[in-house]
Chain A
């Protein structure tokens, strides 16, 4: 592999994993909001 290939691999890993981490937090926030909203009507009832 050329030097640029290793550099590209490193940046794909760094930025790709960051994107996945952000996506996971974002999805967890969305599902937590949905769960909380689903609980709210039950409590009001």
Chain B
């Protein structure tokens, strides 16, 4: 029997189903004794932050993979994961600000966790900008791989910042030496469902983002083989030796 869903659409379906499941669990879980209903923000804020770590860790592994093999498939994975990681980092920061305003009384504070997360966000925006500095896939992949490896130093810095420095931000909720801080099983399930849903969303986005990367590479190859000027190469350096009348 032929599939009802076209192959290219399954990532979108996976995103819809997992996001809906996480939303339902987040809404039926109980309110917190201290934070009240605001605890529900945790079910999207924490998964977004975790997925940012995962995405940048994948960029690290793929960058190492590229430098060892010089296979552009690794670069496609690194670039796609970095772009999605930037999205999740931005989302984690935005949700953290929305959570901070009613609980801390401020949208932002120069706390170690918040500041380091913001720095990580801007470093990976720099990674994406670095990729735009050249059209040559190999040069671009080499430069980006170096920053993809160096930038990953920030992942443990951000994660352990709440342990290493005295911060306003609360410590880890689940992965802590003395066991999870969340006692209610339904709240724990809601958080795990959020993390699982965001992981499915990440994987689905990766499939589509890599597809886009392949299309862009194919366009570049087609333009080069057709001897057409490639994107970004349309601006030529003016010949300063030549006067305006010589043109």
* Bound-complex Cα distance A14 to B12 (A): 16
Write out the residue numbers on chain B whose beta carbons fall within 8 Å of the beta carbon of A28: 212
Question: Do A25 and B209 have beta carbons less than 8 Å apart?
Answer: yes
With contact pairs A22-B15, A25-B209 given, residues A36 and B222 touching in the complex (Cβ less than 8 Å)? yes
With contact pairs A21-B87, A29-B211, A35-B219 given, residues A9 and B225 touching in the complex (Cβ less than 8 Å)? no
Question: Do A32 and B215 have beta carbons less than 8 Å apart?
Answer: yes
Question: Do A3 and B98 have beta carbons less than 8 Å apart?
Answer: no
1/0 contact trace for A27-41 toward B, CB 8 Å? Answer: 011001101100110
Give the interface residue-count category, chain B. 35 or more
With contact pairs A6-B38, A14-B91, A21-B205 given, residues A29 and B215 touching in the complex (Cβ less than 8 Å)? yes
* Bound-complex Cα distance A6 to B218 (A): 45
Q: Which of B202-247 contact A (CB under 8 A)?
A: 205, 208-209, 211-212, 215-216, 218-219, 222-223, 225-226, 228
In the complex, what's the smallest C-beta–C-beta distance from A13 to chain B, in angstroms? 6
Identify the B interface with A (CB < 8 A): 12, 15, 19, 23, 26, 36-38, 40-41, 44-45, 48, 87, 90-91, 94-95, 98-99, 101-102, 201, 205, 208-209, 211-212, 215-216, 218-219, 222-223, 225-226, 228
Identify the A interface with B (CB < 8 A): 1, 3-4, 6-7, 9-11, 13-15, 17-18, 21-22, 25-26, 28-29, 32-33, 35-36, 39-40, 42-43
